[in-house]
Chain A
Amino acid sequence: MARENSIVADQLTIRKVPKKPFGVRFVKDLKKFGVMYLIFLPVLAYFIIFNYIPMYGITIAFKDFSIVKGIFGSPWVGLENFRELFIGEDFINVLRNTVAMALLNLVFGFLASITFAILLSEVRIKKFKRIVQVASYVPHFIATMVVAQLVIEFMNYNGAITQFLTLFGFERQNWLANPDVPVFWLINTLTDTWQGFGYGAIIFIAAIANVDPTLHEAAVVDGANRWDRIKHIVLPTIVPVITVMLTIRVGLIFVVGFDKILLLYKPITYVTADVLTTYTYRMAFGTFVDYGLASASGLFQSVIGMLLLIVSYSLRAKMGRD
């Protein structure tokens, strides 16, 4: 009802004040904002140069590109690069690894953040709570390069985690050289979770802190125990936040978080560690350079990423309406 009223109101205002002709508005706008547009021009140029011209560069994916001939001069080859990409024996592996690690990162990351936020909210000593929270951010601020060196340090033959795992009967080995199926995926996901759990929990902690304390008190009076309170007060509060964060993350899973792999994988683990980003990187800067193939695989990734983003945006828009 309210919405219909506002539409009616809009129509009324439009009828009352007829729009001035385009020319008049144009001149008035230019008079007021002309200088601003001039100042803005370099910013626009920045986005055209570094975002829009590269978009034209995706035509490389449809060309037999050579550096000598340039983007314009190279001959068109239609979908040849994509055919080569899709029938390549690595492609299925790469796709499988990308999807597996993206999903694992998403699930583990989320569960860790939410569990941490809920457990932290149950800590009663304020000072201790704060210390834990601040400590949990530390991994997020450590550079990916350093994180990669830490993983190598802890998971090599003599590393602390390797030694710890032998307590549970795992064979002593350099885990990063193990090409078996879940090993590299788990290393990547656990590292990712370690880096992000505390930082990712900030939003949930804030949401939980916003719960009206009288709700908890009333629940206690009614005889609710801790689990009841978490189930009926805390969880319902953070579910909307979880949904929003989930849609954001789904939109980004193909975009972020793969630069670690470049530092951690080696030829022996390509079979489980290679993802679209690293594959593209090798095709472009590796031993056998193939810009056409690299662009095709980059474009494939961009398109999937875009589709996911659109799904995520429209999901959120839909939730916003409800």
Chain B
Amino acid sequence: MVEKQSKIGLVIDTVIVLIMLTVIFISIVPVWHVLMSSISDGKFLLAKGGLILWPVKEFNLQGYALLFANLNILRGYLNTIIYVIGATMFGFVINVIGGYTLSRNTMYTKPLHVILFLTILFNGGLIPSYIVIRSLGMVGTMWALIIPGCTNAVYLIIMSTSFRSVAKESVEAAELDGAGHLAVMFKVILPQAMSMATVTLLFSVVGQWNSWFPASIFVPSQRDLWPIQLWIRQIVSENAGFLMTQNPDYDRFLIQYAVIIVATMPILIAFPFFLKYIEKGIILGGVKG
């Protein structure tokens, strides 16, 4: 852009850059604070308070050592991974089959769309869903965290829209070659619509990784089934009590920071790599509404 730089323009540019630097600061600093707290000296950290921009007193990894010595946490981590993979895969299969069925022009295309659309419009609410899931015998088991929340009608409709945009000729050619519906959906259509499918996969992975509410109502007392997110709450509340005791082990105080870092880092490290898919998904989703 060719524009004469006036004095006022320069001032405004500077102000904008300053505002943007503030934006970076407030976006990043909370996690940075936790990261720095997690490698500080527990006793001095507790006394200091406020914003921690650098390890207090001295570099100390005891928090992580204690964290990884705790079998519950490792189990929670494993559980989270199981839920993420399980729910995402299960949901993906439903999305592909459902999206494919909706994308074909059959006698039932309209009624099926209505059936799905109604589930977006209206839901029974927390209690009826809970009662149904309990009567299926899922409460207190892993299945309650894998099956019920693995997908929803919005994903199916997104999927069917992107399947519809795949060229009809390739489908017809495959059908002439004698390919069945399963082969058509997974081998012909899906590879051509993979970028939108990836978007739904990523949303599911992030959502499942960060999910805590279903676990808190479906496996409230089964600690061996807790995902890592519930352990964050547990450790923080345990810490609140133990700090009242005489001569506490201050390194234990650090666990609450370490567990947040351990639970958050995988997503933060991974997300720059799937940025373009997320952005694309938002823009397409927004345009189509």
Contact = CB atoms under 8 A, between A and B. Distances in A.
Nearest to B282: A202
A9 interface: no
Contacts of B169: none
Interface residues of B, number: 85
A306 to B, nearest CB: 5
Nearest to B180: A35
A137 B268 CA distance: 10
A60 B128 contact: yes
Nearest to A299: B125
B126 A47 contact: no
Interface residues of A, number: 90
Contacts, number: 240
Contact of A138 (B31, B128, B230, B263): B31
A144 B207 CA distance: 10
Main secondary structure of the interface of B (DSSP, over half): helix
B182 interface: yes
Contacts of B100: 36
Contacts of A213: 1
B241 interface: no
Given A138-B31, A143-B263, A306-B121, A122 B129 contact: no
B167 interface: no
Contacts of A184: none
A44 B114 CA distance: 12
B20 interface: yes
B131 A71 contact: yes
Interface in B6-37: 9, 12-13, 16-17, 19-20, 23-24, 26-28, 30-31, 33-34
Contact of B2 (A44, A217, A248): A217
A26 B107 CA distance: 8
A143 B128 contact: no
Interface stretch (B55-63, B189-197, B247-255, B271-279): B271-279
B23 A159 contact: no
B125 A280 contact: yes
Contacts of A135: 23-24, 27-28
Contact of B232 (A134, A145, A203): A145
Contacts of B188: none
A163 B153 contact: no
A33 to B, nearest CB: 5
B260 interface: yes
B125 to A, nearest CB: 3
A262 B244 CA distance: 25
Interface of B: 1-3, 9, 12-13, 16-17, 19-20, 23-24, 26-28, 30-31, 33-34, 49-51, 94, 97-98, 100-101, 104, 106-108, 115-116, 119-133, 136, 147-148, 151, 153, 156, 180-182, 206, 209-213, 217, 220, 229-230, 232-233, 236, 256, 260, 263-264, 267-268, 271-272, 275, 278-279, 282-283, 286, 289
Interface of A: 25-26, 29, 32-33, 35-37, 39-40, 42-44, 46-47, 49-58, 60, 71, 116, 119-120, 122-124, 128, 131-132, 134-139, 141-146, 149-150, 152-154, 158-160, 163, 194, 198-199, 202-203, 206, 213, 216-217, 220, 226, 241, 244-245, 248, 259, 262-263, 280-281, 284-285, 291, 294-295, 298-299, 301-302, 306, 309-310, 316
9 contacts: A26-B107, A49-B136, A57-B127, A132-B24, A138-B28, A146-B263, A163-B49, A280-B126, A298-B124
